[in-house]
Amino acid sequence: MKRIFTYIISAVASVSLLASCDLDIYPISSIAYDEDAQLIQTAANLTALENGLLQSYRTYQMGEFTIASEVEMDCFNATIDYGNNYGGIHKTDYNFTSSDYYVEDYWSYSYSAIKNYNIFIASADNVSDDLKEAAAVAKGEAYFLRAATYLNLARHFGKAYKAASAGTDLCVPLVLVYDQAEKPARATVQAVYEQIKADLDQAATLLAGVKGEPRKDRPSIDAVNALYARYYLDIADYKNAAAFAHKVIDTNAYTLAATAEAMTAEYVNDEGTEPIYQVHARLAEGTNANVAYTYYQADDTKGKIFRPYFIPTKTVIDAYDAGDLRFGAWFDNKEWVLMNGSFVQGQFYVFTKYWGNPALTSNLRNGRQAPKPFMIGEQYLIAAEAELAAGNAAAAKADLNVLQAARAATQTEATVDNIRKEWLRETVGEGYRMTCLKRWGIGYNKRPMQTGAENIVNTGDVFDGKVFKADDYHFQWPIPSHERKINKNLVQNDGYDISE
């Protein structure tokens, strides 16, 4: 059946459509979209719509969208002053339900953006000849962003890709055409990953001529290849995972920070050479903040203090070698910390990887950084893991050692344990920990507190004593209750209350 929507021809209406956040609150008759109409009419209109696509992607980078899965795993302890922020997902007990705020946001922001990508993809070919080339590039960006978004949704709401069961395991709904009245059921893991590959193939063709460079603020062919590498690692196609990671590495365009000054440029000032794709950020617009790790404040007594909701576990602190540049850049025990009404200093480490870029705040550093969803360090990790799994230990060791040498860490053999340890050391706080444990088919045994934090963190079976088994159903987040209320075709993940 053909979908009919009211069409408003002005560019302003078109831009408003791509910027809208919640279509559920508007009646169908008010939606300014006609699938046969010419949505893109001028160069200025195209630029505005393209910027809308990139903005849609930016809305679910960093902040709660990476913190939630990180604190669910074993890298962070909740402090006694955490105020139950991320409480349900950190404890993963009866408090973690399908009504969880962070789960709802992850789903709704992702699908709101997918709606925008779908509309643009459907409209990009219906342009005048003078706009075809630019529209094709923007269409490639939309395909890339849709692929990246579906991969993240699959990693959070579906089971890990297993060839034997991917054809029956449920993942997330595949929505490729805008239709507000549609109530799609969940597609299988296999179907979602096949669509990710199809979108990447389209993006690779359309963005083939878009050369990558450090800190590029929109998708390039290097970003496409980096996402291919993630995709192939997920489906255990190790030969292609390593090959695509090396397509990015071998450009020699992206340099690992190898000095304290370079680490500051990269992780404080957002001016480094590691990002394959660094999302646009400026003070006037702001970004999502990773404030939960620092919560930096002014204080009448001490001047400036930390009041973190979460601090690193002993597992994280003990993972680093003496002199590792990452430890010096990302962990601090020199600033005063206010906890439970008392000031402490030098007793434990606060996680400062996302303390904040001073240029993105008008006062105190506030956890705001330019999001960097694709970094060259991850490509070395993907290559090393994939090469070892494919039986090429020498190549795995070479890639692992490049990363370790740059970070001033001890160079090791490429064993499974060493590569997994390097994933933790390199990507802590970036939202990958759940994905890694899930891909490896392992859980974790408790969240031991770091030395000096004995009176700082919450203790008990759901806190530092948490045991998270490899088959724990919380590796698959619940389908949000709001979505299931309005779409009865959505089946809940195992383990959660289906009555919610």
What is the spatial distance between Cα 134 and Cα 195, in angstroms, rounded to a whole number?
Answer: 24
Per-residue pLDDT of the chain (500 residues; tens, 9 = 90+): 233 222 222 333 333 334 333 333 333 333 445 666 788 999 999 999 999 999 999 999 999 999 999 999 999 999 999 999 999 999 999 999 999 999 999 999 999 999 999 999 999 999 999 999 999 999 999 999 999 999 999 999 999 999 999 999 999 999 999 988 899 999 999 999 999 999 999 999 999 999 999 999 999 999 999 999 999 999 999 999 999 999 999 999 999 999 999 999 999 999 999 999 999 998 988 788 999 999 999 999 999 999 999 999 999 999 999 999 999 999 999 999 999 999 999 999 999 999 999 999 888 889 999 999 999 999 999 999 999 999 999 999 999 999 999 999 999 999 999 999 999 999 999 999 999 999 999 999 999 999 999 999 999 999 999 999 999 999 999 999 999 999 999 999 999 987 76
Domain positions in the chain are 281-360
pTM of the model: 0.93
Residue carrying the six token digits 């090959």: 243
Q: How far apart are CA 6 and CA 13, in angstroms?
A: 11
